[in-house]
Amino acid sequence: MNIAQSIREFFLRNGMVLGLYLVIAVTFWILILIVLPQLYMLDFSFSKNLPPAKIGGPEDVHTLEHYEFFIRGSAQNTAAFNVVDLQVFFRTLLAAAFVTIFDLALCYPIAYYMAHVAQGGWARLVVLSLIIPFWVNEILRAFAFRIMFGSGGVINGFLIWLGIVDEPVDFIRENVALYAGLGYAFILLMIFPLYNAVESLDKNQIEAARDLGSPWWRIHWRVVIPFAKPGITSGCTMVFMLSAGALAAPQILGGPSSLWFTQIIYQWFQTGNNWPRGSAYAVVLLASTIVFVLLMMKIFKVRLGEIAR
């Protein structure tokens, strides 16, 4: 209530030197690293693409043209919408959702296995072995998938050996490699929230349900999954956000005709040389992720602190 008194108490509690350290470090972080850059990017996305000399000049006015471009396309575009970019945008979200569901389906049984089936040292080993792929550089992970899914790669070799296919399948063009690679990259982020949630479930509850004659799938549906909901929400949110925001894997594993939304942003910056437009697209990405997180928080009634851990 009384700011002056709060500040006095703060310094009384921490002393001058430490108090200043806390205030300066946190202010620097929040203002200079987090808030101001985001705000400036937002502002910048409304400005015209001008050479540095003209910035601040009379032509430097706010404009909606970049957002308009995102929705309507260039002035020459005859279609009602910027079909290409919008398609990429929604396809990215859809693909990220697909990757999320894939990871959830893959990780839920494993998390349950780790928490309630595996024992002692073996369980530890499983946990530890999960960490190892995670710490391998994401570029290298994508590289590994490119080796595997290449036309002369192990998968094709195996399929041909089995006689399932005669010709190598172009997994890269079909985006199989991309989805597999993205799913792989975020396994850990799905599995640990799930594991933490499932693990805290009292084994007796499962046994009680089993005792009452419930089949195993109903136990999961009625007991384990409702209990693990915060973990599921957290894992899904993280995986979705990271997939939608991924750049390296789509660049390396993406098929020739499929772009990821981040790649478009990247192009506006690197080759398109239109930073304000790139910023506008980045704002679109940021806004959609914020909406997504809020939606998840609302639907599954979890707090932010439960998602980001």
Shortest distance, CB of residue 271 to another protein, whole angstroms? Answer: 4
Q: How many helices (DSSP H) and strands (DSSP E) are in the chain?
A: 17, 0
The 176-195 contact track toward another protein, x by CB under 8 A, reads: --------x--x--------
Q: Which residues does residue 62 pair with via DSSP β-bridges, in sequence order?
A: 47
- Identity of residue 259: L
Which residue among 194, 236, 285, 302 contacts another protein (CB under 8 A)?
Answer: 285
Rounded to 5 degrees, φ, ψ at 51 are -65, 155
* Closer of 127 and 201 to another protein (Cβ): 127
**63 is an interface residue for another protein by CB under 8 A:** no
Ranges within 113-172 binding another protein (CB under 8 A): 113, 117, 124, 128-133, 135-148, 150-154, 157, 168, 170, 172
- Identity of residue 86: L
Number of residues that bind another protein (CB under 8 A): 108
Do residues 74 and 84 touch, judged by C-beta distance below 8 A? no
- Kindly report the number of other CB atoms within 10 A of residue 14's CB atom: 14
Which residue among 57, 60, 64, 273 contacts another protein (CB under 8 A)?
Answer: 273
The 7-46 contact track toward another protein, x by CB under 8 A, reads: ---x-xxxxxxxx-xx--xx-xxx-xxxxxxx-xx--x--
Residue the block writes with tokens 């003209």 = 54
* Closer of 8 and 222 to another protein (Cβ): 8
Which residue among 97, 106, 176, 225 contacts another protein (CB under 8 A)?
Answer: 106
| Length, in residues, of the chain | 309
Q: Which stretch binds another protein (CB under 8 A): 63-71, 108-116, 194-202, 221-229?
A: 108-116
Rounded to 5 degrees, φ, ψ at 62 are -75, 145
* Closer of 198 and 242 to another protein (Cβ): 242
Shortest distance, CB of residue 99 to another protein, whole angstroms? Answer: 14
CB proximity list for 130: less than 8 A, separation 6 or greater: 187, 188, 191, 192
Q: How far is CA 249 from the centre of its chain?
A: 12
Do residues 242 and 186 touch, judged by C-beta distance below 8 A? yes
**78 is an interface residue for another protein by CB under 8 A:** no
The DSSP result for 35-92, as a single string, is IHHHHHHHHHTTB----GGGTTSTT--B--HHHHHHHH--TT--SSS-HHHHHHHHHH
Which two three-digit tokens encode residue 12?
């009384």
* Closer of 98 and 275 to another protein (Cβ): 275
* Closer of 148 and 225 to another protein (Cβ): 148
Do residues 182 and 97 touch, judged by C-beta distance below 8 A? no
Q: How far is CA 243 from the centre of its chain?
A: 4
The 216-255 contact track toward another protein, x by CB under 8 A, reads: x--------------------x---xx-xxxxx--xx--x
**301 is an interface residue for another protein by CB under 8 A:** no
**105 is an interface residue for another protein by CB under 8 A:** no
